Amino acid sequence: MVQIEISSTRSSEKDKQEATRLKAEANKAFTSHDFLRAAQLYSEAISHNPGDPTLFCNRAYTRIKLEEHGYALHDASRAIELNPKYAKAYYRRAMCHIQILKPQLAVADLKKVVALEPQNAQVRKELDSTQKLVRKIEFEKAIEMEEEKSAVERCLEIIAEGSCEVDKNYEGPKLATTDDGKYKITIEFIRSMIQWFKDGKTLPRRYAWEIVIGAHDQFVKEESLVPVNIDKDVTIDVIGDVHGQFYDVLHLLSLTGEPSEKHLLLMNGDLVDRGSWSIEVILTAFAFKCKSSLPLLVWLYPKNMFINRGNHEAKEMNRTYGFEGEAKHKHGEQTYKVLPLATLVGATCPPAEKQNVILSPDGVKRYFVTHGGLFSKDGVTLDEIRAIKRIGRQPGTEGLMCELLWTDPQESPGWGPSKRGVGIAFGPDVTRRWCELNGVTSILRSHEVRQDGYAIEHDGLCTTVFSAPNYVDQGGNKGAFIRIDAEGTQQYIQFEAQPHPNVRPMAYQAGGLASLMM
């Protein structure tokens, strides 16, 4: 987004009138959910009247809607500089701090709002919940230092004790058992489970645990960079963010088809949060995962279903954007963070056209698929990515793991600050150097809304794919996925949003953030 430099806060009456006119247009664009246009109009208004704090505060809100939390933080701070008693600006800055995983800083801003508006019960409630969140984070850090048992170990103990049995009155789809008592998943169970979810019902906690623990066992066997080769007559579909939009995922699966030996699926992170059916989405994805040696469960598709981690597959994000609340509501608090960080999708047949194409050392196309993007330095190799120790770890706010999940492409060369406030932005020259170093044809990433569902960037070396149409019921965007064959040829398939039950996004997230995002 273009930044307009401000040299003075003094404006003529004519400029102030033009700023007022532009502000009114921006407000209309915002109301129509055209947030890009609204941000542009607020920027033009600021150029005419840079001394008006409401323009910066309104643009901050718009940038929150665009998930440009770093930019929004700057705007809210500028509004506070212009008017140190602007309660709304402090509140929006507090929400930005929460969204960039710095709730400690949010506490000070919320206290300021309470001081300015002592009768504001909602902000007092928000302050209390944020202070509790800070204490919880500090407590969890202390527990981690004491090496407390993992959630998987605790669940297995509870199951072994017989404390998580299926209710005898449960009438939904049932996992079959083998002769030796192990649970067995079938495609018939998955299809029945999906229908059960469509009917607004939940699985027993035991079944949910079995599915997630079984998936966990598979993911811990995989490297942080998973190799996938596309044999002749085989295709793979790369799916971007779906964010708990279960009914759109069902439509998506009707277009991709179920995973099979001839057709693979790769979900590129951010399966959860924001949408209010994240449990249904992630259990469906995990249920399509592989045949396991786990004693508890026999799985279905060993090498046909792949899932990368996104920045929303993280404890801190789940607290903020709804999945933690949804998990507690439907199945309990346990979550598992072992997903691979990237997938290297390799063709096995030479491409028909090789001119100006970066090929692997074997002379075929290959694609690096990760949720966010590249790094804050040159020279990072595939072997370094493969060796990242991810099991049981959160991505944090710096380092290779964080950057894989958080970074974004930019049009200008080199590196730039993140509009999100976490990670960095990388330019087309950075992308080319990395692809040439590693023999990678192109980077396929997600992480950002694209109005057409996908966008080809950086001279074709970086493609963004986003698979949550009409994102959070207000984006107006299409969804898309990318199909790749054995020669590495890409096909882009778009789809529209589908109707869903009358449940708002982030329905399980209490407090001001949920309303701020809607």
| Tokens 């950075």 found at | 430
Q: How many alpha carbons fall within 13 Å on the CB side of residue 303?
A: 11
CA separation, residue 438 to residues 377, 378, 433, 442, 468 (Å): 14, 11, 9, 10, 30
Q: Where are the alpha helices (DSSP H) in 83-150?
A: 87-99, 103-116, 121-145
410/332 Cα distance (integer angstroms):
40
Q: Are 379 and 438 in contact (CB under 8 A)?
A: no
195/216 Cα distance (integer angstroms):
24
Tokens, residue 394: 């959160």
Q: Are 285 and 307 in contact (CB under 8 A)?
A: yes
Active-site position among 312, 331, 371, 458: 312
Contacts of 422 (CB under 8 A, 6+ apart): 69, 70, 100, 101, 311, 397, 402, 406
Cα of 34 vs its chain's centroid, Å: 21
Beginning with the edge strand found earlier in the chain, give each strand of the sheet holding 305-308 in spatial order: 305-308, 263-268, 235-239, 479-484, 490-495
Q: Are 411 and 464 in contact (CB under 8 A)?
A: no
Among 509, 91, 11, 83, smallest CA distance to 272 is for: 509
CA separation, residue 433 to residues 211, 359, 379, 458, 464 (Å): 41, 14, 8, 12, 19
77/97 Cα distance (integer angstroms):
11
Contacts of 398 (CB under 8 A, 6+ apart): none
Our answer to whether residue 447 is catalytic in this structure is no
469/90 Cα distance (integer angstroms):
32
Type of residue at 296: L
- Cross-strand partners of 453: none
Q: List, as one string, the DSSP characters of 339-381.
A: --SEEEEEESS--S--TT----TTSS-EEEEESS---SSS---
Q: Are 116 and 91 in contact (CB under 8 A)?
A: no
Q: Which residues are catalytic?
A: 312
